[in-house]
Chain A
Amino acid sequence: MSFLQVLDIHHTYFTKTSATTALSDITFKVEEGELISLLGPSGCGKTTLLSIISSLLRPTHGTVLLENKPISTSKRQIGYMLQQDYLFPWKTIEENILIGLKLSKQLNEKTKSIALKLLNQIGLNGVEKQLPKQLSGGMRQRVALVRTLATEPKLLMLDEPFSALDYQTKLKLEDLVSLTLKDFGKTAILVTHDIGEAIAMSDRIFLFSPSPGRLFKTFHIPEELRKLSPFETRNHETYSKIFQTIWKELESLEPEKE
């Protein structure tokens, strides 16, 4: 009876000349309110897995259950945040954050005011009528978060959402996103290749090995770190110990290359 169950997922990409297996034998469970990180070198199928969980992509084998129902029928329960903000440049900030509600025909005075309030809560005041290009990268990514949260998804997919930002903005946004998700009690899956970010943000880390992508190892973040904000976690003494452990595991994944 877990919140999200990923059962025996295999996925193979076909082209005219080859069949590449991107994911093999992936099974895991996520409880409600958890934040999971998928960590691994590039090409281990992390983004593919996110696409499958959010039912954008149909796996060649396996099922994903959200609250015990197959994910394909539970559309619009999932929010997806991409590497870049992908705000529509021709829409104002307000139109951008309301697009999800508009598309799913949930747009009314109430949901609209909730979305606009969310924008204020996240620290963006008086930008409703502005265009995305008038905002800085960090502000735009925050707008993208509001856009994702506006439809009140049960599950959030974060596909390296901080990778296009400068370091300082990234640290600040990590705190903000982590706090916002905890406040709303959202379950989230974060894809990243940054070990530090994975430790700082998540409750559990799934380490993936490449070609084909497999679930290699699971790390549980100790309770004392999970209570802290990402920024505080980074300064905690056990942080570097965990970092070292994961680093060694990552190293062991690619010995033949050297």
Chain B
Amino acid sequence: MSQKKNRTELLHQTYVHSLKIERRWIRSYQAIIFIVFFSSWELASQKQWIDPLLFSSPSKIWLLLLDKLQDGSLAANIGVTLTETVFGFILGTLLGTVLAAILWWSPMVSKILDPYLVILNSMPKVALGPILIVALGPGYPSIIAMGAIISVIITTIVVYTSFKEVDPNYLKVLRTFGATRLQCFKEAILPASFPTIISTLKVNVGLSWVGVIVGEFLVSSKGLGYMIIYGFQVFNFTLVFLSLLVIAVFATIMYQLVALLEKKIVKE
């Protein structure tokens, strides 16, 4: 009997151990890809296999990073872009959810607006950029609007679909207690859709970055998008790559924060 138990324990230990080893392999392959990519980039650039003027090199980008950190211009530009993105992202998600709530509230409105939503969703929203800049002026408002407008329609559609898919029996329970439509929304529809809303947040993080960077391309005065367009105009591709890498880092951080939020909320 105890022998059997010992055997199970032993098997469990081997299993846990094999999981650990697998994880170690995955991590080391990830590290190898990272190192190989950057070192071959560096090597190719130094040996002039690729045009160093066009493709720059990791060491040049690193030096420029230190330089820009020292004069404070990088931090300022990051601050600008990050603020715009966060606001655009929150605004897009909130507006989209409110619109979805309106559509749920009135089935008539949702039937009437259906074709318009389809058109708006298939339209490339960045094309509205010039109009926004003229209407709101070349500054924060128009860029935040870009960040928001790009995600608002898709949020509306996804969240509205999830509102509609809430099990009607939950509503039946509430209606037997004499609940009004607002109470039904507050007690059942909205909380049941939280997981969907959070997962649209994840998509919206990426979309808002697109909107904001394109907005900064157009306005060209501050931010990481401006750094890219400026680097391109003066043919300083080290600056372009630096901005790209910084964007990659911050977009990832934002995504991870949302993922963390999701874990916290959906767990409950």
On whether A103 and B170 interact (CB within 8 A), knowing A88-B187, A88-B188, A90-B191, the answer reads: no
Q: Nearest residue in A to B175 (C-beta to C-beta)?
A: A56
B122 in the interface (beta carbon within 8 A): no
CB contact list, A87-134 vs B, under 8 A: 88, 90, 99-100, 103-104, 131
Report how many A-B pairs have Cβ atoms within 8 Å.
44
A6 in the interface (beta carbon within 8 A): no
A76 in the interface (beta carbon within 8 A): yes
Q: Which of these binds chain B: A7-15, A16-24, A77-85, A222-230? A: A77-85
Other-chain contact of B178, A82, A90, A104, A131 (Cβ < 8 Å): A104
On whether A103 and B174 interact (CB within 8 A), knowing A88-B187, A88-B191, A90-B268, the answer reads: yes
Q: Nearest residue in B to A78 (C-beta to C-beta)?
A: B176
Question: Contact flags (1/0) for A49-78 with B, using CB distance below 8 Å?
Answer: 000001010000000000000000001101
The DSSP consensus for interface residues of chain A is loop
Instruction: Determine if A80 and B174 form an interchain contact, defined as CB atoms under 8 angstroms apart.
Output: no
Instruction: Determine if A103 and B173 form an interchain contact, defined as CB atoms under 8 angstroms apart.
Output: no
Question: Contact flags (1/0) for B158-181 with A, using CB distance below 8 Å?
Answer: 000000000101101111111100
Report how far A84 CA is from B172 CA in the complex, Å.
12
A151 in the interface (beta carbon within 8 A): yes
B83 in the interface (beta carbon within 8 A): no
- Taking CB atoms, residues of chain B closer than 8 Å to A184 are none
Instruction: Determine if B173 and A86 form an interchain contact, defined as CB atoms under 8 angstroms apart.
Output: yes
Other-chain contact of A76, B172, B178, B268 (Cβ < 8 Å): B178
Interface size on A, residues (CB 8 A): 19
Report how far A80 CA is from B171 CA in the complex, Å.
12
On whether A86 and B187 interact (CB within 8 A), knowing A75-B178, A99-B177, A103-B179, the answer reads: no
- Taking CB atoms, residues of chain B closer than 8 Å to A88 are 170, 187-188, 191
Other-chain contact of B176, A54, A84, A131 (Cβ < 8 Å): A54
Give A80 Cβ to nearest chain B Cβ, in Å: 4
Give B186 Cβ to nearest chain A Cβ, in Å: 10
Most buried by A among B173, B175, B177: B177
- Taking CB atoms, residues of chain A closer than 8 Å to B173 are 80, 82, 86
Give A97 Cβ to nearest chain B Cβ, in Å: 12
Other-chain contact of A82, B169, B188, B191, B194 (Cβ < 8 Å): B169
- Taking CB atoms, residues of chain B closer than 8 Å to A99 are 174, 177, 187
B8 in the interface (beta carbon within 8 A): no
Instruction: Determine if B187 and A82 form an interchain contact, defined as CB atoms under 8 angstroms apart.
Output: no
CB<8 Å pairs between A and B, sample of 15: A54-B176, A75-B178, A80-B173, A82-B169, A84-B169, A86-B169, A86-B172, A86-B173, A88-B170, A88-B187, A90-B194, A103-B174, A103-B179, A104-B177, A131-B268
The 4 closest A-B pairs by CB, nearest first: A80-B176, A100-B177, A76-B178, A103-B177
- Interface residues in chain A, defined as those with a beta carbon under 8 Å from any beta carbon in chain B: 54, 56, 75-76, 78-80, 82, 84, 86, 88, 90, 99-100, 103-104, 131, 151, 157
- Interface residues in chain B, defined as those with a beta carbon under 8 Å from any beta carbon in chain A: 167, 169-170, 172-179, 183, 187-188, 191-192, 194, 268
